[in-house]
Amino acid sequence: MSSITELMPFVVLIPLIAGPVCALLPGRGLPWLLATLAMTTAFILSAMVLAAVFDGATLSYAFGNWAPPVGIEYRVDAANAFVALLITGVSAILLPWGKPLVDDEVPERQGSFYALVLIALAGLLGITLTGDVFNVFVFLEISSLATYGLIAHGRDRRALIAAFRYLIMGTVGATFLLIGIAVLYILTGSLNMVDIAERLPTAEGARALQVGLGFIVVGLAIKLALFPLHHWLPNAYTYAPSLISALIAATATKVALYVMLRFIFDVFGAAYSFAALPLAAALMALAIGSMFAGSWLAIMQSNLKRMLAYSSVAQVGYMVLGVSLTTLAGLSAAFLHLFNHGLMKAALFASAGLVAYRCGGLGMNDLRGIGRQMPWTLTAFALAGVSLVGLPPTAGFISKWYLLSAAVAADQLWLVGLILITSLMALIYIARVVEIAWMQPRPEGAPAVQEAHWTLLAPVWVLVAANFWFGIDTRLTVGGATRAAQALAGGVWP
């Protein structure tokens, strides 16, 4: 137990230290190797951490032996261990996959590229594990700055604009978070999450606290790309290098959601948060807005990556909807979808990346008849799409099942209809791609496209297999999600 506590901070430290080292490494092979090794090690560590906290324990590590609340504390329970496992797991699978794509898209100075990747991931992991609110802000900015740089690596010049606009929006979001943290500090004089939570009851009447909560929720909603604050996301995902699209689609918004929940539940306390502001109603309205706007815009898109990006907006809506039900079942469903959506979007973006790599473009016209030439890639895409739509036996179905059950249990039957309608909208945009890729003939004179090499396909298929595995054996995902929800809202919500 104690040894795992000592090891726990290394989940963040390994990528954080490996990052700068990476920047110094020459050539193409070494930086990639180091990055992959670092994330694989972090993955193994976070699996150990999750195993240690799975039955409800909490790990606490005080940096520099400064006891909390004075020093910075890393505090891990089932909720953050679960998210950390997703981040490290997806990146450990995607990094080996992305090597040739990065060689293609970022031919030079790969050392600094992989350094940014590692630092962005370290930032996300830092947000996830830390128990200190100011530390959250710092790590948020670390990962965001690295992400802006990574997005700007995209080959299309529009990547630069996307990165700049994301930077403006993202910084506003982070600054909002900082304002909220300032309010918390002014009211309680502490920065440690647990400590703030203990001291807050004395300040509960203060209107400033409501303002603080509002700033934090809005600031993180920007990072989360919750409708109508999602404008940065489609361009950023579309023009970023393929590896980065897949990585941040699977992880960044999930971390934002996690940290929002951590603030709402652990720092402010669910009882206060949902009473002080009409949070449940607001989140529900925004979630439904996300679901419909995201799905509708996804249907309208003619670029594959852009379509997937809008679909992410819609899927974030499902997670937030789960939270807004204000039941433990709803929160579990949100965590479950957080994990499962990470898996399916990673698989979808990864197969889209392979198409871009082999065929150059991702417009619907480029995709015509591509299924016959890249059968393995497009089959993977179709299967991951089945998961996105939420058909059995995939992880997506399990998410939907729990979300729908939670809505039924909360007596919100009208939500069942909305969830199902947006699922059918997902069916429309996925089926359209499948039809174009498989059932339409290749345009006259189009160059022949070769199937990707098996080393590229293997990680994609691992992700697809994970989608099916977690669609049938749900012990880890459902167990983890239930315990994560328990850790956050156990005892407060029914």
Partner 1 sequence: MTPFLAVLIPFLGAAVISLAANRPRLRDGLCFALPVPLFLTVVGVLVRRVGGDDAMEQTLVEWIPGVSLTLSAQPLGLIFALLASTLYIVATPYAIGYLRAGGYHHLTRFMACYAIALGATMGIAFAENLLTLYLFYEILSISTYPLVAHTGTEKARSGARTYLALLLVTSIGLMLPAIIWIGASAGTLSFTAGGILDDSVSPGAGALLLVVLLYGIGKAAIMPFHRWLPAAMVAPTPVSALLHAVAVVKAGVFSVLTVVLYIFGLEYTQSLLTQPLMLYIAVFTMLAASLVALRQDNLKARLAYSTVSQLAYIVTGALLATELAAIGGGLHMLMHGFGKITLFFCAGAIYVASGINTVSGMDGLARRMPLTMLAFFIGALCVIGLPPTGGFWSKWYLISGAWSTEQYLVVSAFVLSTLLNIGYLMPPVMRAFLRPPPDDEPARYRLSEAPALCLVPLLVTAAGTLVLFILADPAYRLLAMGIP
Partner 2 sequence: MTLLSFINYWAVIILMMTGYYCMIVRGNMIKKVIGLGIFQTSVFILFISAGKVIGGATPVLREGVERYSNPLPHVLILTAIVVGIATTAVALALTVRIREAYGSIDDDAIDAAEEDDRV
Contact residues for partner 1, defined by CB under 8 A: 372, 386, 389-393, 398, 400-402, 404-405, 408-409, 416-417, 420-421, 423-424, 427, 431, 435, 438-441, 472-475, 478
Q: How far is the CB of 379 from partner 1 (least distance, A)?
A: 9
- Give the interface size with partner 2 as a residue count (CB under 8 A): 27
The b/e string for 2-35 (b: 16+ C-beta within 10 A; e otherwise) is eebbebbbbbbbbbbebbebbbebeebebbbbbb
Shortest spacing between CB 413 and partner 1, in angstroms: 9
**Min separation Cβ 251 and partner 1, Å:** 26
Residue 185 vs 438, nearer CB to partner 2? 185
CB of 424 to partner 1, least distance (A): 6
CB of 333 to partner 1, least distance (A): 12
| Residues in contact with partner 2, shown as a per-residue x/- string from 107 to 146 under the rule CB under 8 A | ---------------------------x--xx--x---x-
- Contact between 161 and partner 2 by CB under 8 A: the answer reads yes
Residue 167's binding partner out of partner 1, partner 2, none, with CB under 5 to 8 Å set by partner kind: partner 2
Among 23, 57, 160, 206, binds partner 2 (CB under 8 A): 160
> Judged by CB under 8 A, which of 25, 152, 221, 388 binds partner 2?
152
Task: Tell me how far, at minimum, the Cβ of 289 lies from partner 2, in Å.
Answer: 21
10 binds partner 2 (CB under 8 A): no
C-beta of residue 45 within 8 angstroms of C-beta of residue 8: yes
- Closest distance to partner 1 from the beta carbon of 414 (Å): 11
From the list partner 2, partner 1, none, partner contacted by residue 408 (C-beta under 5 to 8 A by kind): partner 1
Minimum CB separation of residue 456 from partner 2 in Å reads: 28
Position 149 contacts partner 2 (CB under 8 A): yes
Adjacent-strand bridge partners of 130: 74
Q: Between 165 and 432, whose beta carbon lies closer to partner 1?
A: 432
Q: Is the CB of 51 or the CB of 408 nearer to partner 1?
A: 408
The reply on whether position 446 binds partner 2 by CB under 8 A is: no
263 binds partner 2 (CB under 8 A): no
Binding mask 188-227 for partner 2 (x = CB under 8 A): -x-x------------------------------------
Least gap, CB of 492 to partner 1 (angstroms): 22
With CA atoms as reference, report the closest residue to 337 among 269, 291, 273, 293.
Answer: 291
Nearer to partner 2, 141 or 204 (CB): 141
**Is residue 148 part of the contact set for partner 2 (CB under 8 A)?**
yes
Q: Which is nearer to partner 1, 44 or 300 (CB)?
A: 300
Whole-number Cα distances in Å, 399 to 131, 247, 358, 411, 474: 28, 21, 32, 18, 10
Omega before 228 cis (within 30°)? yes
Cβ–Cβ < 8 Å for 232, 169:
yes
Sole window of 92-100, 172-180, 333-341, 469-477 interacting with partner 2 (rule: CB under 8 A): 172-180
Sites of contact with partner 2 (CB under 8 A): 134, 137-138, 141, 145, 148-149, 152, 156-158, 160-161, 163-164, 167-168, 171-172, 175, 178-179, 182, 185-186, 189, 191
